[in-house]
Amino acid sequence: MAEERGYVTFNCQKCLVPLRLDDSLHSIGEHTLAELTLPINSTPDVDIESQATSFDNYVHPYRLSDSANGANGEFMLISDGKEIHGLGKKMEVEAALFDTLSGHSKIDHPLCEECTDLLMDELERQMKLADSDFNDFSQYLKKLEADVSEPSIADLQNELKSLQAEEEQYMAELRDKDQENKATLAALAEQEAEAQRLNQESNNYCKQFARHRYDYMTVEDDYKSLETQLRYINYQLEKLKKTNIFNVTFHIWHSGHFGTINNLRLGRLPTAPVDWSEINAAWGQTALLLNALARKLGFAFSKYQLVPYGNHSYIRVVDEQKELPLYGSGGFRFYFDPKIDSGMVAFLHCLQQFKEHVESGDRDFNLPYRMLKNGKIEDNNTSYSIKVQFNSEEQWTKALKFLLTNLKWITTWISTQFENESV
């Protein structure tokens, strides 16, 4: 409310909105005010007059407008400070009225109309809740009053003792369970330690297994590699067993009119003047082959001894202690050394001896060309001399070719005799 001059205004204690009080509040009498100050639950012993006279010593709960808010159980009076001591009886009555209302409830007064409506709604909701609780309690009280089967105090005491004994039993069981729980936790800790140990052993085992597995795979690879090498070696061995070392080492073939041994021509033609170094080397290979065949059969020549010495091979006459060369130099006929003729004839005698030795063990063995003692080889009743002197180059070359052919036949026969072993 504001005075006629607008010095003083009451504020709402909820929202701090300035209030304009109704004029009816100005005409409240002392007796009415005394009745309002009585407690809500008043009794006949209340002294109304003493309540009325208490307003004479009323301390205004005013404070200046510089306050932060008007809450805390007080209302706010806004003034310029000049009219406070000049307040009339009317303001004192209004202030006492609001103080009385605030003192008899938990709500500070005055309130504006909107805050009052909100307060009334809240009070109505609380009243409905209180009525609902009252009805529930009333029904429960009636139910209790109607129940005639209430147990006696002795029964309740006996039940209490039984429940206490049961409680003691449960507590004992709880203590036992607690001990069991502790024992279980200890066993669990041991099992966890054992599990960690087993896990560590498992990890170590896995590592060892991986290492041994790697070693095993390495050894297995080496074993397979050795197996492959062994199969290859066995294959090569079988191949070598079936291979005639004489045929491989001493390849006898022909080249036109010439007989060849290891591609060395043995002979000489006017149209193909073979150098004597090639002829000498061919005779060295021929002497080496016949000597190897004789050693293979363990045969020793009578009167002669073959001495393979490359392109200077010769035949030693054992009884006479002289050497018959299988090599020559110079030209043909007039420039020819006759000693080579003796050596070639001696070689033909050695081949004849070896042929006779083979025939003694195999009557079916026969050579394609017949060899005569005078140093000739016969083909279809035509003989060819192995000597150079008083001979033509063509016939000499053909006689040497027949000699190599006979030597090849002997080599083939020996290969068949020793086909199950490496020759």
pLDDT at 8: 46
| Residue 9 predicted with pLDDT over 60 | no
Q: What global pTM score does this model have? A: 0.47
Measuring CA to CA, how many Å separate 295 from each of 39, 151, 216, 305, 362?
A: 156, 137, 51, 12, 18
Say which residues have a Cβ less than 8 Å from residue 366's Cβ, sequence separation at least 6.
359
User: Is the backbone of residue 298 left (phi > 0), alpha (psi -120 to 50) or beta?
Assistant: left
List, in order of start, the domains of the chain with CATH numbers: 9-119 (no CATH), 245-417 (1.10.418.40)
pLDDT at 75: 42
Q: Is the dihedral of CA 385, 389, 393, 397 positive or negative?
A: positive
pLDDT at 127: 93
388 three-state secondary structure: coil
Comparison of pLDDT for 402 and 90, the residue scoring more: 402
Nearest one of 223, 348, 227, 246 to 295, comparing CA atoms? 246
Measuring CA to CA, how many Å separate 330 from each of 55, 324, 335, 359?
A: 177, 17, 6, 39
What pLDDT, in 10s, does the model give residues 112-160?
A: 888 888 888 988 999 999 999 999 999 988 887 776 666 678 888 898 9
326 touches 348 (CB < 8 A): no
Residue 132 token pair: 């609902």
User: Considering just the CA atoms, what is the radius of gyration of the chain in Å?
Assistant: 75
pLDDT at 422: 47
- What is the average pLDDT score of the chain? 80
Comparison of pLDDT for 45 and 236, the residue scoring more: 236
Backbone φ, ψ for residue 264 (5° rounding): -100, 125
What pLDDT, in 10s, does the model give residues 215-254?
A: 999 999 999 999 999 999 999 888 777 777 777 788 899 8
Nearest one of 381, 373, 363, 376 to 402, comparing CA atoms? 376
pLDDT band with cut points at 50, 70 and 90 for residue 364: confident
